[in-house]
Structure 1
Amino acid sequence: MEEFVADLIKSEDDELLFNEIMTRYGQDILQLAFSYVRNKQLAEDLTQDIFVKCYKALHTYKQNAKLKTWLYKIAANHCKDYLRSWYFRKVMVSEKMAEMTGSSSENVEQAVLEREEEQTLANAVLKLPMRYREVIYLFYFEDMSLKEIESVLGVNQNTVKSRLKRAKVLLREELEGFKDGK
């Protein structure tokens, strides 16, 4: 996939390259934005802004890094900037997690229990402070390596490891509280 993008970059057909980037990474960027803002409509708006930003910055992409890593770095920075903005501080983000993926279980009772567990886990992740939530999302949901997360977030790999470890502890505590009926 990266070779195809490299060929498009060499061809200097920015429109074709941009369309390919949106097609291949649009859903991933939307999910990343959602992990930051926890609101589907807002995540869609941010995703649009992110792709505009990427289009304007296409000439800055250096092929020594993966395109996905470059896109995620732009997306993560844009989302963080938005969260720090005055506008966001005035807006109440009330929507919880969007539709979770459907269960493959044929047993209705089992499907309900699985969905409840998925929702509980999703809510626990969304309750984490941003620095922990982003590493959990990138590591487990996007299957990024520690090195890629380091590059996306602009922090040392040891920091990524410690945040991941702390996030797991916080999740465990949150989920134990749920299990105990709190």
Structure 2
Amino acid sequence: MISDEMLLEQMADGDQAAFEAFIHRYHVPIHQYVERLLKDAKKAEDVVQETFIRLLKQLKNKQIPSYPKAWLYRVASNICKDYWRSAQYRSEDTAKEEMPVTEDPLASVVEIYEKQETRKEILHSLSHLSQSQQQIVMLRFYQDMKLKEIAEIMDLPLGTVKSNLFHALKKLKKVLEEDEEEAIENERTTQPRTRTISAGR
């Protein structure tokens, strides 16, 4: 398979086929990543389009990113951050209150997946995390990024990424345990009660 760097070099030379191949390679994963962050498919598409527009501007100036994949995710992440800081986002009142970190032991990814029946439920649990923690978890486990790559994308020290991931998984474990307890309690209250009648002698 042709490398990202080679495709960008061809794109910089005006190769339309290379452009289509590169878009085909990254449009869907970046759209999925952004949509999970913004929880809005339409806004996600706008962000993806803006990301590729900025890439084309880079190439027009003959500035080819050294690590194209990381560059794309970093640009998309920064556009999301700009949106979160905007008056439009604040007016929509969609900011989530971060839950306090507890002393629960760190949950492995396997444990988190075992506690949930569907990926949709996992995504719902992510809403309890801060925006930066959501980004790190999604890049690590949904986009299969290495911690070093995530640090580069988010422009954070590697230690900060590790710390955020640690606390994010602790928080997810607490949320998932609470959801499980609530489900068990609801099941108990909805079960029909049977009345036992003892026969008298």
TM-score higher than 0.5? yes
Deviations 1:118-137 (A, max 9, x none): 33211001231101100000
What residue identity is the alignment partner of 1:9?
E
Q: Secondary structure at the match of 1:61?
A: coil
Q: 1:138 to 1:4 in 2, by over 3 A?
A: closer
* 1:71-150 paired onto structure 2 within 5 Å: 71-91=72-92, 117-150=118-151
Q: Does 1:153 align with 2:146?
A: no
- In the TM superposition, residue 78 of structure 1 has moved relative to its aligned partner by 0.9
Q: 1:147 to 1:181 in 2, by over 3 A?
A: same
Q: Percent of counterpart pairs with the same letter? A: 29
Q: 1:8 to 1:128 in 2, by over 3 A?
A: closer
Q: Secondary structure at the match of 1:180?
A: helix
Unpaired runs of 5+ residues, structure 2, are: 95-114, 184-201
Q: Using the alignment, how far apart are the partners of 1:118 and 1:14 within structure 2? A: 38
Alignment-derived partner of residue 36 in structure 1: 37
Q: Using the alignment, how far apart are the partners of 1:3 and 1:54 within structure 2? A: 16
Alignment-derived partner of residue 60 in structure 1: 63
Alignment-derived partner of residue 6 in structure 1: 6
Q: Secondary structure at the match of 2:156?
A: coil
Q: Using the alignment, how far apart are the partners of 2:125 and 2:92 within structure 1? A: 22
Deviations 1:63-107 (A, max 9, x none): 3x2x111111111111111111112222355xxxxxxxxxxxxxx
Structure with higher Rg: it is 2
Deviations 1:28-77 (A, max 9, x none): 110121122111122122212222122212333333x2x11111111111
What residue identity is the alignment partner of 1:175?
L
Partners of 1:5 and 1:17 within 8 A in 2: no
Q: 1:14 to 1:160 in 2, by over 3 A?
A: farther
Q: Using the alignment, how far apart are the partners of 1:78 and 1:52 within structure 2? A: 12
Which structure is higher in helix share?
A: 1
Q: 1:8 to 1:117 in 2, by over 3 A?
A: closer
Q: Using the alignment, how far apart are the partners of 1:165 and 1:71 within structure 2? A: 25
Q: 1:2 to 1:147 in 2, by over 3 A?
A: farther
Instruction: Give the alignment's TM-score, normalised by structure 2.
Output: 0.71
Alignment-derived partner of residue 25 in structure 1: 26
- In the TM superposition, residue 115 of structure 1 has moved relative to its aligned partner by 8.3
